A and B are shown apart, each in its own frame.
Chain A
Amino acid sequence: MERAFGQTELTLDGDLRELARLALWIGRFCRSHSLDENVEFHLNLALEELFANAIGHGGCKDLPAAVSIRLSLAGREILAEFADRGRPFDPADAPPRDLGASLEERGAGGLGLHFVRQIACHIEYHRVNGWNRIALRLAI
């Protein structure tokens, strides 16, 4: 298997306060690979939305070491591998968001995954040994 260059890994507890640590870690990754603020913003957004979903809907709330994230560069893409030990959840199963609907009809649900789909150019899902494994590819 090809080993991606400059890989780095972070483990997070099932607590939204971990977002501060996630943001610092993403910032360090981006600086060490000379990635701009725009890429950093998108990485934060995609990974926060997956993390918040795992806590809010996946049953990861208050679980220690609930989530593990790896980031690596592969050519002109960033590979973000997000793993959580919550309930099985394939992002592809979530219905697409109806942006044509009015605010009242639409509510605010599903917005996070909508963002993930907008940001990532490729999303892959596997359920492995009790973990959801979501691999995102983001163009630089």
Chain B
Amino acid sequence: MIEVAEEMRSGWRVVAVRGRADAAAADHLESVLKTAVEANAKVAADFSALDYISSAGIRAVLQAARAAEGRQSEFAVCGLSPAAKKVFDMSGIQHVLRIHRELPC
């Protein structure tokens, strides 16, 4: 179960995701991030209130990153907790994503 709040900040669409990005929430997460990427040139996924992420959540982020790549828009992942960061690290996709400690805006 995730909750999403979006706002514009210095040219970035900031998508703040709160809760658990598990297999039950992955479709919701993917649709929110892809919609943002399709409508904005710069999207930052703010995961600072994300308590948990599994492979299903990682896949959702990956799909958004691919959509951004296809449109040549910027997609940044920010604010990961150490535990969530470790899941990204284990997945190996951190090499193809822009992961920031802080929001870019």
Contact = CB atoms under 8 A, between A and B. Distances in A.
Contact of A115 (B20, B62, B87): B87
B11 interface: no
Contacts of B76: none
Contacts, number: 62
Contacts of A38: 83
Interface string A92-135: 00000101001100101001101100100000000000000000
Contacts of A45: 52, 54, 87
Interface residues of B, number: 20
A67 B39 CA distance: 41
Interface in B37-58: 52, 54-56, 58
A90 B92 CA distance: 24
A103 B97 CA distance: 10
Contact of A114 (B23, B24, B52, B90): B90
A48 interface: yes
Among B23, B87, B91, the one with the most A-chain Cβ atoms within 10 Å of its Cβ is: B23
